[in-house]
Amino acid sequence: MKYCVIGLGHFGTNLAIELSREGHEVAGIDHHEDRVEAIKDEIAHAVQGDAMQIAVLEELGVREMDQVIIAIGENFESSLMVASHLQSMEVEKILCREINEVHQRILRLMNIKDVIRPEALAARQLAKRLGIHRATRHFELEGDYAIVQIKLPSFLQGKTIANSELRSKYDCNLITVRQKQKSQGEAEEDSGSNSVKTSDEITIIGVPKPDYEFQEGDELILFGSEDAIKQLSHGSKKDSED
């Protein structure tokens, strides 16, 4: 797919790079030369220019993009101007970074419904993750449900999926397991010994079988309600950890 990211600040730059790493064709534009120079080797097209000029947007080919992301974060006047130009050019898919509540209301009056406030989203995801013991990742869904990655609680170590009671006792569905494995590297040269360096390798085991036995270092990717996953992360009262 083809994406255009307008505004290459911290958010826009990281978004453009991640989209490019996912295999998409990405064009980025910013009026700051240093921002364009910093990203030019990471994405397909990096352009220095003023996106508030329709001629510049035309030259960038925004009409042919699958989606245009307005990532401007300094002030919403520039953001609104660019959004208005894109609408006049009949660009169908516009995602706009919102800066504050006033900006959000104006965007909705302009009928731009696909908006995001990355700082608020990141803060909410972090708060949710910190609220679950052992959680390392958190993806919120509707209705108080979530997909959460947690470090293996010690009371599950050595148990198989079949006898873990994840579903019957904790009302959680196991999606998959991230398994940490030690791999041997090259022998250390300066130590004067035959010791071998090891490094951690992460493997996704795919669809887990009922006889899979949980091991130290495993991380569980679970689906369930927030409360159910919280209870599992601490274990039952009998098995709970300090």
| CATH number, position 17 | 3.40.50.720
Q: Output the six-digit token pair for 203.
A: 């493997």
Average pLDDT over residues 76-97: 94
- Do 8 and 112 share a domain, yes or no? yes
Is the pLDDT at 239 greater than 90, yes or no?
Answer: no
Number of domains in the chain: 2
Over residues 126-136, the pLDDT tens digits come to 888 888 888 99
- Do 168 and 104 share a domain, yes or no? no
Least confident residue range of 107-121, 163-177, 182-196 = 182-196
Is the pLDDT higher at 120 or at 38?
38
pLDDT band at 17 (very low <50, low <70, confident <90, very high): very high
This model's pTM is above 0.95:
no
- Do 126 and 144 share a domain, yes or no? yes
Instruction: Give the residue from 93, 116, 139 where a domain finishes.
Output: 116
Residue 198 Rama label (left phi>0; alpha psi -120 to 50; beta):
beta
- Do 91 and 127 share a domain, yes or no? no
- Do 147 and 193 share a domain, yes or no? yes
pLDDT at 188: 47
Q: Which amino acid type is present at position 227?
A: D
pLDDT band at 201 (very low <50, low <70, confident <90, very high): confident
pLDDT at 88: 95
Query: Which candidate, 127, 16, 12, places its Cα nearest to that of 70?
Result: 12
Q: Is residue 29 part of a domain?
A: yes
Query: Which candidate, 93, 98, 120, 121, places its Cα nearest to that of 109?
Result: 98
Instruction: Give the residue from 92, 116, 140 where a domain finishes.
Output: 116
Question: The domain containing residue 144 runs over which residues?
Answer: 122-234
Query: Which candidate, 230, 197, 200, places its Cα nearest to that of 215?
Result: 200
- Do 127 and 36 share a domain, yes or no? no
- Do 73 and 159 share a domain, yes or no? no
Check residue 192 and report its DSSP letter.
S
- Do 182 and 112 share a domain, yes or no? no
pLDDT band at 240 (very low <50, low <70, confident <90, very high): very low
- Do 128 and 112 share a domain, yes or no? no
Q: Output the six-digit token pair for 66.
A: 């699958």
pLDDT at 183: 58
pLDDT at 236: 52
Q: What is the mean pLDDT of the chain?
A: 88
Query: Which candidate, 53, 72, 59, 61, places its Cα nearest to that of 13?
Result: 72
